[in-house]
Structure 1
Amino acid sequence: MKLKNFNIKKKVFIIAEIGNNHEGNFTIAKKLVRQAAKAGADAVKFQTFKTENFIRKKDKMRFNQLKKFELSFSQFQFLKKLAHQKKIKFISTPLDLESADFLIKNADMIKIASSDNNFYPLIDKVLRSNQTMIISTGMTNSLQIKSLINYIAKIIGKNLTEKRIVLLHCVTSYPVEDKFANLRSVEYLIKNSKLTIGYSDHTIGNEACIAAVAMGAKVIEKHFTINKKFSKFKDHAISADYLDFRNLVNGIRKVEIQLGKFNKKIQQPEKKLIKQVRRAVYADRRIISGEKISLKNIKFLRPAFTSNFDNLKKVLGRKTKKTFYKNQRINIDN
């Protein structure tokens, strides 16, 4: 599968989840895009919303905070242009239907938050477009995920579902304690679906993301901030800063190389050592012609100087065709 020309078969797609860590400051938002690109992210992700369309005004504290965090559609268009200048993708999560209409036309991909993975009017709207949709699976169980996949497949068909839909294992908690991360869910989703599977991380540190990649995750999303102590807004404390994120990217890229291929072969550097560290059969004393070889008259020493390593097990019990002297190497043909 390709995510907007990004081949996830060759490389893990790493998303810097900026979310609302700009806190409505457009200058900070631009700086976050630049830093994410510099740290090695493949994409940045924001949240796009009209506060009055998804938060009750009676919830004054929450409403006023998010109203302050709002960026305009034109500002998001600029951020997309900036992301493209930095050779990374622009993704955002719509939190209302009006914002979904905007992002369908302007985002490279659309992310559905865990809180909305059962908000079918929003899901339907994105499905009717040609957009790739990334869905976090927080607060769902296996039956609910299966139901969601079936629902999507009925609307756009099985083939398009497999091409357009990405599922991210996610645990909705901030931060997630290690004992609740349940990374084995990545393996479970891979085994039980034909979709691209990734991981959206809310733990502290980079270990969970790297482990998820080792388990087969093809998309990694990690919260990203200018400074973990930027303000009292809780997302900063659970986010990676520039140095954290750069280390995460480097760690993932290293693990990608280390994972190699799904087989078991002798590796190139091993071939240089194999004749030196394998053993050959040597006479431990004088062995006369016709004498039977046993553990009492031979020893196994390095180096082997041969590639016929399987011959070691074929020597015992055979009779020699000639006389061998102590410390002389015994070849199976002799």
Structure 2
Amino acid sequence: MTDKPIEWLRPDGRAYCIAEAGVNHNGDLGLAMDLVDAAVAAGADAVKFQTYNVDRLLRRDTPKAAYQVATTGEADGQFGMLEKLQLSEDEHHRLIEICAVRGIVFISTPFDEVSADLLEGFGVPLYKIPSGEITNVPLLRHVGAKHRPVILSTGMAKLGEVETAVEVLRGAGVDRLALLHCVS
């Protein structure tokens, strides 16, 4: 590893600030736009959302995690909760337009191949792989084959898992790769 600046993110060597919107919009496009505005006001370089198709992500009977039950109750289960939080293709398109108007980079984390293809269709500048997908070799290969820059979250992955993910992405065609250590 190196502490050399990631020049493809910011040639001047300064920190590249990504505001994490995630699913904090609660499935509400207006709130998502407010998060974009807050990111701009804070001086962020980019704002990052999540892109997924809940039908491809989990089974309908998947229960919520204990922390989710504590904050949202037991209703809906994991599937129902994530279904309410997912953004449609039109909502993604609108957010990308708003980001362009506001002068901030739109980034999103795809959780499946179809979501990566959706983002590719929008011409996203890079992909962010979540730490929970670091061992999802088919997704890594699929994203890597798009030959765009990738930010790979390492989360609680073991060093060997990180090394394998880097090898898979590089082997698929990624030449601009940044590792992001996050606490999962």
> After TM superposition, is the score higher than 0.5?
yes
C-alpha deviation, 1:148, in angstroms: 2.3
Alignment of 1:56-135 (within 5 A): 56-59=59-62, 60-106=76-122, 107-135=124-152
Unaligned stretches of 5+ in structure 2? 1-6, 63-75
Q: How many Å separate the matches in 1 of 2:165 and 2:78? A: 29
Q: Say if 1:155 and 1:97 are closer, same or farther in 2 by CA, change over 3 A.
A: closer
Task: Output the CA distance in 2 between the equivalents of 1:48 and 1:152.
Answer: 19
- Residue 144 in structure 1 maps to residue 150 in structure 2: no
Could you state the TM-score of these two structures normalised by the residue count of structure 2?
A: 0.83
TM superposition shift of 1:139: 2.2
| Aligned position for 1:23 | 26
Which of 5, 10, 26 is 2:13 aligned to? 10
Listed as ranges, the gaps of 5+ residues in structure 1 are 173-334
Q: How does 1:170-189 map to 2 (within 5 A)?
A: 170-172=182-184
**In the alignment, structure 1 residue 40 sits paired with structure 2 residue 40:** no
The share of aligned pairs that are identical, in percent, is: 35
Whose Rg is larger? 1
Residue type of the alignment partner of 1:151: V
The residue number in structure 2 matching 1:165 is 177
C-alpha contact 2:137 2:168 (8 A) present in aligned 1 = no
**CA 1:83–1:27: 2 relative to 1, 3 Å:** same
Amino acid at match of 1:21: N
Helix, strand or coil at the partner of 1:152: helix
CA displacement 1:17-73 (0-9 Å, x = unmatched): 100000101110111101111111110000011111101101251111111111111
Query: Match for residue 262 of structure 1?
Result: none
Structure 2 matches for 1:232-271, cutoff 5 A?
A: none
Structure 2 residue matching 1:2: 3-state secondary structure:
coil
Structure possessing the higher relative contact order (Cα contacts under 8 Å, 6 or more residues apart):
2
Aligned residues: 164
Tell me the amino acid that sits aligned with residue 115 of structure 2. Answer: S
CA distance in 2, matches of 1:152, 1:48: 19
Q: CA deviation at 1:146?
A: 2.0
Measured in 2, the distance between the counterparts of 1:126 and 1:155 equals 8
CA RMSD of aligned residues (A): 1.5
Shift of 1:84: 1.4
- The 8 Å contact of residues 134 and 161 in structure 2, kept in 1 or not, is answered as no
